[in-house]
Structure 1
Amino acid sequence: MRQDNQLIVLTHLSQLLTFITGFGGLLVPLIIWATQRHNVYAMDEQGKRIVNFQISMFIYSLICIPLILALGLGIVGLLILCLLSFIYPIINAVRASHGETPKYPLSLNFIS
């Protein structure tokens, strides 16, 4: 295994593709993690955290949609999720560049 902090940082930042293209925030990190988890030190652990975070954000977004129609609270929920989805990949990319372990809030553990 090789140490490649740049690829790990790129994997964290690739989540931001959702804001640029509308998709890719889950697909690109999933592909990088699946192809490099056995080759890059710490990619398996951090890739799992990224994919779990992206799946969690998707599920929370789906929960907010009916809340828009029912209570109007879904809009606030979607705005909070949008901020979390933008801020935490950047924070964790910086942490990964320093060799620290990333922490994603509200992340459910789908892949362990």
Structure 2
Amino acid sequence: MNQQYGKDERMWAMIVHLSALVGFIIPLGNVLGPLIIWLIKKDTSPFINTHGKEALNFSITVTIYAAISYLLLIVFIGALLLIALFLFWAIFLIMAAVKANEGNDFRYPLTFRFVK
């Protein structure tokens, strides 16, 4: 475990990733959760700022991929893409939260970097 970051920083970095789960309750909550936490906490720590931008970029990217998959439901491949996307999202979300809690950086694969 990387101890260069305090427990509070690691906790908020983990929460910013897990806040994407709000999308199960609120439409576009998967983007709003990380966005709100990042905006509130980004100036308190470079570690939280980095994880917040990464979580926000991943959430926006997954939302774009989901929209494309929904359009492809017409040709059935969209259903398979949505299942694969959900698994991809869940696995990497958990991996990012664990890395943040350990005090390590994490970069999501296949993510567009809208927020730099």
TM-score interval, normalised by the smaller of the two chains: 0.7 to 0.9
Find the counterpart in structure 2 of residue 39 from structure 1.
44
- Runs of 4+ residues deviating >3 angstroms: none
Any conservation in 2 of the 1:8–1:93 contact (CA below 8 Å)? yes
In the alignment, structure 1 segments of 5+ residues that lack a partner are none
Number of equivalent positions: 109
**More deviation, 84-93/52-61:** 84-93
Any conservation in 2 of the 1:52–1:111 contact (CA below 8 Å)? yes
User: What percentage of aligned pairs have identical amino acids?
Assistant: 32
Q: Cα offset for 1:18?
A: 2.0
Query: Cα RMSD (Å) of the superposition?
Result: 1.5
1:107 to 92, 95, 111: 111
Report the residue type matching 2:88 in the other structure.
L
1:82 to 83, 86, 97: 86
Q: Cα offset for 1:78?
A: 0.7
In the alignment, structure 2 segments of 5+ residues that lack a partner are none
Find the counterpart in structure 1 of residue 54 from structure 2.
49
TM-score by length of 1: 0.88
Q: Cα offset for 1:22?
A: 4.4
1:94 to 2:98 alignment:
yes
